[in-house]
Chain A
Amino acid sequence: MSLYNLFTQGEWIQLLLLLSYSISFSLLGTFLFLKKKTMIANAISHTVLFGIALLFIGMKVFSGQTYFTLLSLNIGIYVLVSIITALITIFLIEILKRVIHLNSDASTALVFSTLFSLGVILITMFTQSSHVGVDIIMGNIDLIHIDDLKIGMMILVLSTLFISVFFKELVVISFDETFSHFSSKKPMIVQCAFLCLTSLSITCGFRYIGIAPVLGLISIPPVTASLYARNVKELIYYSVVSNILISILSIALTKMIYEKLGVGLSTSGTLVTLHFFLLLFLLRKKGRQIHIEAQE
């Protein structure tokens, strides 16, 4: 009872939501890190705007709805459109890499900056105001509803199931892509399913907890874990553990600061900053340890 009273009901929901997303992100992010494709998350965070802009235009043309009614309605369509946009982004990046032989960094930069600026232009053209930023469309962990939890839990279950079933295939694919064609029957299908699941959880994450925490949760914990992990399983365990601890810590810290000092910190900002400081701390510690071992 006393443990439950530690947080209000809203904060428990917040915590559960954050935990569900952070666990699925550390599962997916580990494999993105191993495949060296973390940058995809950043690219998607920009291109989603393009898909949303197209959605607005379509809605306005076909049903005459205005921009602001759309924001409150159509969450399902929103998620669908963002997933399609995310997949298109990944597809375009791969096309540029394979067909035109562009470097991976150049193709990523080209695709996301182009689609993002097109998205901004389209939104400005059809709402006729230049003050519509990404922040209106994107969610915030401090403004949540209990229904959001359903999708979060669904994503958690989906990603846990997927990773545990296809763990072996994913490991093989991320370390040796050529070998994966011999060892498992359909590596392409597993890879596609992985990318679909990743874009689903990333876009839902943007909608419900915001861009900054998604990018932070997907990129920082695997690197932190890689300092100590000796195999892929340990990599996943460590990043899940660090994610859980820091999620709880960040919510508690934000609450404490709000009660003691009266300053409303952004939970997502606190979360990412804590992750970052943990990484810095461990880098320093590990670096010192290596230094001492080298001296001996």
Chain B
Amino acid sequence: MIPFFKEVFLWLTDPTFTVSLWGAVLACVSLSWIGVIYSLRRSALIGEVIAHSAFPGLILGAFIGIIFDVSSERMNLLLIIGAIATAYLSMKKLTFLQTQWKKSPDAALMISISSFLGMGVLLASILQSVDPVLYKNVMIFLYGRTATMLAFHVKLYAIVMILLSFFLITFHRRIKMFEFDKTFAGFFGIGKGLERAIVCVTLVVIIISLRSCGILLLAGMMTTPAIAARWWVKKISSIFFLSTFFGAFSALLGSFLSIYIGGDLFVLPTGPMITTVSAACTLFSLLFGKRGGLIVRMYRRILFSLKCQEENLLKSLYKKGGAMKIFEVKEVLNSGALILLLVIFRARDHIKISTEYTVVLKEAGVIYAERVVRLHRLWEVYLCEVGFMKHRVHAFADEIEHVLTEEMENILVKRLKNPTHCPHQQKIPKKLEEKDVPV
């Protein structure tokens, strides 16, 4: 373990890696912010569209560069401008197909992706025959080279990230309003302007990240942190914070792993590694997330069903006078794993299992069972009061007795003026502390 940490420390301080590391972190954070906005809109695939439709733009930029015979510095600028232009066109077409022609978002996305990819392929084949060297340069632009990042790029990313955070902080109220209720936002004059601003910001962030991260990282980072964050928190600002954390974490771990795994033999591509780490985070969140993660949900369901079973058992024990034979218990619980259930319930200290295969109610169990029975009968009284038939209320009360809380119980008692008998003329057990307090 210690050599591993030593390696991490060396890597964090190594000047050759710090540049690409910070570049990756900054780019990932900005991308995940953009991703949050689009995942709220349920168009998480927009990153994919932009990444693909930048392809013909890059090559068009290269053609313009060839025609006007510009220097290599200006050529890079031209490539970026071209990429932004076609990406903008494709996003425009996307919204046009969706709003004007009522095509499904799925079909519109696919058309944008495939048509611009096709045009890119066509233009690339021309460029390949005209100028093979430039073609190779453009391809580097497309797949990304994290290793070639310079201090200049890191500064650029930092500036973009700061501007983006300013944008988000200044307009967070409007963005929220616009994303959740377009009609309502329309009344305040929020609409086209904000939409345009978001599109511009997105394009700038994405195309600038494209140079050093590549298409893969882009599409991945725009979706995964946002999805992961939504499984933990509900508020939109918290989603932004958490996705920042996920983005930065996966950038750090991913760029470290990409160097660490290969050792001296080879360097794994950084972009895919970061995406994989981020996807692993997302998978973890989907399973264990506080808000409806799969395992968490299953755990809660099991707990609830255990609670219901236990309450049913206690109730029938109480009605039978405190002791039941095992075969009687079997009828109440109706479960395959009867022994397991009994062992679990015994651990809760409400029952004990005596000799002669008898289940006996304990002191604490009596109090608990009285509460359940009380809730059951109170609910029956309430339903009769509301107008239900007397013979039908029992089944409803059987279900609701497991979910009634103390607060609801108090309200019911107040509303029904503390009844003493249920509709079937059975006594309602009194609450412990209220036993001698007059109403």
- Name A residues whose Cβ lies closer than 8 Å to a Cβ of B: 33, 36-39, 41-42, 96, 99-106, 108-110, 113-114, 116-118, 120-121, 124-125, 128-130, 133, 210-213, 215-216, 218-220, 222-223, 226, 263-266, 268-273, 275-276, 279, 283, 287
A99-B216 in contact (CB<8A):
no
6 closest A-B pairs by CB: A272-B118, A269-B122, A117-B272, A266-B125, A269-B121, A215-B114
**How far, in whole Å, are A273 and B292 apart by their CA atoms in the complex?**
45
B312 at the interface (CB under 8 A from A): no
B39 within 8 A of A: yes
User: Can you give 30 contacting A-B residue pairs, CB < 8 Å?
Assistant: A39-B106, A42-B110, A100-B286, A105-B43, A110-B227, A113-B216, A113-B275, A113-B279, A116-B272, A117-B276, A120-B269, A121-B268, A121-B272, A121-B273, A124-B268, A125-B261, A125-B262, A129-B266, A130-B267, A130-B268, A210-B121, A212-B114, A212-B117, A215-B113, A215-B114, A216-B115, A223-B107, A268-B121, A273-B122, A275-B115
Contacts of A279 in B (CB 8 A): 111, 115
Please, which residues of chain A bring their CB within 8 A of the CB of B294? 99-100
Query: B220: CB under 8 A from chain A?
Result: yes
A272 to B55, CA, bound (A): 14
By a CB distance below 8 angstroms, the chain A residues around B111 are 219-220, 223, 276, 279
The reply to whether A268 and B118 contact each other, CB–CB distance below 8 Å, is yes
Is B224 within 8 A of A116, CB to CB? no
Do A33 and B107 touch (CB < 8 A)? yes
CB A211 to nearest CB in B, in angstroms, measures 8
Main SS at interface, chain A: helix
CB distance from A237 to the nearest CB of B (A): 19
Of the listed stretches B97-105, B148-156, B313-321, B357-365, chain A binds B97-105
Judge whether A216 and B118 touch: CB under 8 Å.
yes
In the complex the two chains form, is B269's CB within 8 Å of A124's CB?
yes
Q: Is the beta-carbon distance between B107 and A130 smaller than 8 angstroms?
A: no
Residues of chain B having any CB pair with chain A under 8 Å: 39, 42-45, 47-48, 97, 100-101, 103-107, 109-111, 113-115, 117-126, 129-130, 143, 216, 219-220, 222-224, 227, 261-262, 265-269, 271-273, 275-276, 279, 282, 286, 292, 294
Q: When the two chains form the complex, which single residue of A105, A125, A270 contacts B44, counting CB atoms closer than 8 Å?
A: A105
Q: Do B279 and A110 touch (CB < 8 A)?
A: yes
Residues of A within 8 A of B39 (CB): 106
Residues of A within 8 Å of B268, CB to CB, are 121, 124-125, 130
Q: Which residues of A contact B266 (CB under 8 A)?
A: 124-125, 128-130
* Known A42-B110, A263-B126, A263-B129; contact A106-B118, beta-carbon cutoff 8 A: no
Q: A114-B279, A121-B276 are in contact. Are A37 and B106 (CB under 8 A)?
A: yes
Chain B nearest CB from A86 CB (Å) reads: 16
A116 CB → nearest B CB, Å = 6
Question: Of B48, B130, B273, B276, which contacts A42 at CB under 8 A?
Answer: B48
**How many A-B residue pairs lie within 8 Å, measured between CB atoms?**
175
Verify A271–B118 contact, CB threshold 8 A: yes
Instruction: Decide: B44 and A109 in contact? CB cutoff 8 A.
Output: yes
* New A-B contacts (18) at CB < 8 Å, excluding given A114-B279, A121-B276, A276-B115: A36-B107, A42-B113, A105-B105, A113-B224, A117-B272, A118-B272, A121-B269, A125-B262, A128-B265, A130-B268, A130-B269, A219-B110, A223-B103, A264-B125, A269-B119, A275-B115, A279-B111, A283-B101
Candidates A113, A263, A272; contact of B117 at CB < 8 Å = A272
- Distance between Cα atoms of A265 and B220 in the complex (Å): 32
Cα of A7 to Cα of B104 in the assembled complex, Å: 40
Question: Cα distance A104–B227 when bound, in Å?
Answer: 12
Determine the residue in chain B with the shortest Cβ distance to A258. B129
Contact present for A36 and B106 (CB under 8 Å): yes
Contacts of B227 in A (CB 8 A): 102, 106, 110
Collect the chain A residues with CB atoms within 8 Å of residue B42's CB: 103, 105-106
* Pair A101/B44 contact, Cβ less than 8 Å: no
List, in ascending order, chain B residues with CB within 8 A of A104's CB: 106
Which residue of A is nearest B267, CB measured? A130
List of B residues within 8 angstroms of A38 by Cβ: 106-107, 110
**Complex CA distance for A269 and B110, rounded to whole angstroms:** 16
| Given A42-B110, A128-B265, A130-B267, residue A117 in contact with residue B279 (CB < 8 A) | yes
Assembled-state Cα–Cα distance A220/B93 (Å): 13
> Contacts A106-B44, A109-B45, A114-B279 hold; do A269 and B118 have CB atoms under 8 A apart?
yes
Chain B residues in 8 Å Cβ range of A121: 268-269, 272-273, 276
Chain B residues near A117: list those with CB within 8 A: 216, 220, 271-273, 275-276, 279
**C-alpha gap A118/B48 in the complex (Å):** 17
Cα separation A110 to B110 with both chains bound (whole Å): 17
Kindly report which residue of chain B lies nearest to residue A215, judged by CB atoms: B114
Q: List chain B residues, Cβ under 8 A from A269.
A: 118-125
Contact of B48 among A109, A213, A283 (CB under 8 A): A109
Residues of B within 8 A of A287 (CB): 100
